[in-house]
Structure 1
Amino acid sequence: PIIMPLSNPTSKCEAMPEDLIKWSQGKAIVATGSPFEPVEYNGESYNIAQCNNAYIFPGIGLGISAIRAKHISDKVFMAASKALASCSPRVKGEGPELLPALTEIHEVSKIIAVAVAKQAIAEGVALPVPEDILPVIIEDNFWLPEYRKYKRTSL
């Protein structure tokens, strides 16, 4: 089972990850709304994913703004969800984690943005951009935060 007690803060969590792992005899995939330490059960360590909107909203915003979509439908949100699911290490056979590492958020956001843009175009609510150039448009609209050196010019 996939169990996602998402309430914040930790004190309001519907179920504790340690209990979920024990009750499911180590079979549950657990993601929470607050950060939790890994759970030890039967000599095995279970990492607890933190399910956060930081995974999905940057990609939705990027995809929608890059193609000037006029409407965001439920199907667009579903496309974003499916794109995020395709990035799961568990789905890709790269580990037991449900969600990709936050260190991969830039790439994940671009994958989600392309999926969102494709869906909005399919619904006719965005610029009719050819599918093969969508990744280029997404890349051109991607903002990478960086600190620039400050240079004082006057007193």
Structure 2
Amino acid sequence: MSAVATSCAGLADLVGVPLPHSDWIEVDQARIDEFAHATLDDQWIHVDAERAATGPFGTTIAHGYLTLSLVSRFLFEAFTVDDAESAVNYGLDRVRFIAPVPSGSRIRGQVTVAEADVRGGGYQVKSSVVVECDRVEGPVAVAEVLTRFVARAS
């Protein structure tokens, strides 16, 4: 997948335009276990395959925050800002975990730039990200992500 390239000044031109889907990312049990270890969230529904097999989803599932953490990758794959000196995560306006992501599935993101405004000597972008899973019908998560870009001095 090839990211759409723009400049800081050109960010406004991307508003409302659905960008190409990201590549698929596998969410296997090893990734889930690593995330559980890193975040100290080892709830059985994520890490105990035997118990999860008899649970509500029939398998282990990814943490919602694991799914959310991969959104930054989807943004990176959606667009690049060629003249940005820096890009920093500024926050989230809204996040919903709509459906579980089963272990062994793949997810990808569909990004649409919702807003692009000049802010504090830089640019603030609100991106709407819809996360899809190859084993689930409909989105598994949606997020409104805020990113701040600072253009390189000319």
The TM-score range, normalised by the shorter chain, is 0.3 to 0.5
Which one has the bigger helix percentage? 1
Name the structure with the higher strand share: 2
